[in-house]
Amino acid sequence: SLPPLSLSPSLPPLALSLSPSSLSPSLLSLSLPPISLSSVFILSDGGGGADLVLVVTPCFYKGMMDSRALVHHFTQVADSSLDLPVDAVVRLAQHPNILGLKDSGGDITRIALIVHKTKPQDFQVLAGSAGFLMAAYSVGCVGGVCALANVLGREVCELEQLCVSGRWEEASALQQRLIEPNTAVTRKFGVPALKQAMEWFGYHGGTCRSPLQPLSEAESQQLRLDFSTNGWL
Catalytically annotated residues: 102
Measured from the Cβ of residue 6, the count of other Cβ atoms closer than 10 Å reads 10
* CA 77 distance to own-chain centroid: 18
CB 179, CB 131: distance < 8 Å: yes
In which region does residue 116 sit, left (phi positive, over 0), alpha (psi from -120 to 50) or beta (all else)? alpha
Enumerate residues 6+ apart whose C-beta is below 8 A from 164: 137
In which region does residue 206 sit, left (phi positive, over 0), alpha (psi from -120 to 50) or beta (all else)? left
Q: How far from 78 is each of 54, 109, 198, CA to CA, in Å?
A: 11, 27, 35
Residues 181, 188: Cα–Cα separation, whole Å: 10
List the one residue out of 180, 173, 174, 172 whose CA is nearest residue 229: 180
Q: How far from 140 is each of 95, 117, 124, 163, 216, CA to CA, in Å?
A: 20, 11, 9, 10, 40
